Amino acid sequence: MEKRTAGWRSYAIYGCALALCQPLAACGSAETPAASTNDKVAAQATAAIPADAPLVIAFGDSLYAGYQLGPKEGLAPQLQAALAADSVVARVQNAGVSGDTTAAGRQRLTYVLDNAKVKPALVLLGLGGNDMLRGIGPDQTRANLDAMLAELKKREIPVLLTGMMAAPNLGSDYAKKFNPIYSELAAKYDASFYPFILDNVVTDKTLMLGDNLHPNAKGVTVVAEALAPLVEQALPDAG
């Protein structure tokens, strides 16, 4: 993951945006998604998927949910399209909820899994950004993520964990406790790991919405294309 270090060094841009938006205490928790179009992505994402295709559940917050994007521009449809472009057929289900903390995700995880039509072949897990915005203690964030990973392990469902980073304005003490959570839990549960969900996106304003917190459709494309190879590695008999 050495190539990801450039995005981490430039994280100060994201930190400034977080500092401005921190009083909101949530990523997109109260806004209705606005209409947006991306015909190419929409065409790819609506390609027919067989009923018996492996199920991938994208379980996260607004960064997964497609905040302010069109129905085919969020992470789930774009990841499904990226996989299809690599001749990997899978159904990617959006289970992202804007504003979710790790505590909220922990509460709803079993419901999502119990109500899936089939056992997921993979779960993408991406929560913690809203914990940081709310100033929730990193110990709580760790405990909630740990519990979700334990539940997925108990069910023998592979996981791809996508990480978040503490904004610089929160101070070094917070960062020292928050930032290692994801890599350490990924190692503990032998999960696939993508260190920073907005790597190579947050530092490019052309890939971000005006709030500088959420990716636009093109930004989501970058994220989806970066995640696709890890998803393909995790899926049994991919391709």
Query: Could you give the residue numbers annotated as active site?
Result: 62, 211, 214
Give backbone dihedrals phi and psi of 79, rounded to 5 degrees, phi first: -65, -40
The C-alpha angle 189, 175, 201, rounded to 5 degrees, equals 80
Distance CA 57, CA 52 (A): 15
Distance CA 181, CA 168 (A): 16
What residues have CB less than 8 Å from 22, skipping those under 6 apart?
Answer: 133, 135, 167, 169
Tell whether the torsion through CA atoms of 44, 50, 51 and 55 is positive or negative: negative
Q: What is the DSSP string of 73-90?
A: SSHHHHHHHHHHHTT---
73 in Cβ contact with 41 (< 8 Å):
yes
17 in Cβ contact with 54 (< 8 Å):
no
The C-alpha angle 116, 235, 128, rounded to 5 degrees, equals 65
Task: Give residue for tokens 């890890």.
Answer: 230
